[in-house]
Amino acid sequence: MTCASRWMIAAALILTGSALPVAPASAQTNAAPALSSGLVLPPTNSSSSLSSWPLLAQAAPPAASPPVPANSLVWAPPPLSTNIIDEFKAGVTAHDVGFLDHHVESGADINLEMLFTPPSILQAIGSPRPHIGANINTSGNTDAGYFGLTWGITLIQNLFGTGGGIFANGSLGGAVNDGYIDSAPPGRKKLGSPVLFRESAELGYQATPTLSVSAFVDHMSNANLAEHNAGITNAGARFGFKF
C-alpha cells in the first residue's frame, strides 16, 4: 500500500468515527517516529520526501519581554551634589580687641560669612572652601568685607557618643575696609590701605550635621607693605548652618 493510500484510509476512519487499527509489531518498527518537539518524521523505508508530511505542531515562538509600565521605578545613579552654598555662619565679635595690635576702636561687630562648596580645581591644595563675608561695626567704626579660602579639619569625631565632633578651621584671604588710610581722628586707626590681608582661626563643636557653634578670631592688616599698618583683630563666637 502506498503512503498516499494509508493517509486516505486514516482520514476516512477519523471522519466516520471508527477506531484506527493497531499495526502489528513488525510494521511498527517502520512507523514514523514522533519527536518531543511535535514533528513527525516519515518512516525510514518510505520513498516520500519530508515535504510531503504535514507539520503536526510547531515550537512556540519565544515570549516577548513584558513592556515596562510608564510609572515603574527604574534605578539610576544618584545625581552629583549641586549645592553651591555649603554653609552660612553668623555671630558677634568684639571689635579691635588689641591682640596682635593696640586696641583703639570700640564697639561690637556683626559677623556674617558664606562658605561655598569647593570646586574640583582646588583639590590640589586640600579642597578649601571659598568664602565671602563681612564685619559690620555697631559703633560706626571700621567695617570690612572679606573673601578667601577656608581649610577645615575634624579633631574629634562622635564626641560624647552623640555623633557631634570638634573641628578647627583656618582661612587666608583679603579684605576691603572703609577705615582711614594715612590720617585718622582720635579713636580710629590708620590702616594704611583700603585693601588688606586677612586671616582667621576657628575652633568649634559640630552639634548636628547642620548646626555648629564656634569661637572665632580674625585679623586684617597690610603686613607692613604701607607707611601705616595699624591692623584690626576681632574675636567672638558664631553659629554655623550647613545646607
In the chain, what percentage of residues exceed pLDDT 90? 60
The confidence score (pLDDT) of residue 82 equals: 72
CA angle 132–134–140, rounded 5-degree value: 165
Asked if 31 and 23 touch (Cβ cutoff 8 Å), the reply is yes
Instruction: Average the pLDDT over 58-79 and give the result.
Output: 50
Confidence band of 241 (pLDDT split at 50, 70, 90) = very high
Which parts of the chain are beta strand (E)?
Answer: 85-94, 108-116, 129-137, 144-159, 164-177, 195-206, 211-221, 232-242
Least confident span in 62-71, 123-132, 141-150:
62-71
Query: Is the pLDDT at 132 greater than 70, yes or no?
Result: yes
Domain ranges in the chain with CATH number 2.40.160.20: 85-242
**What's the CATH number of domain 85-242, 3.40.50.300, 3.40.50.1100, 2.40.160.20, 3.90.79.10?**
2.40.160.20
Of the two residues 72 and 166, the one the predictor is more confident about is: 166
Rounded-to-integer distance, Cα 50 and Cα 48, Å: 7
**Of 38-42, 159-163, 172-176, the least confident:** 38-42
pLDDT at position 81 = 55
pLDDT tens for each residue of 106-115:
999 999 999 9
Per-residue cell: 211: 548646626
Mean of the per-residue pLDDT values of the chain: 79
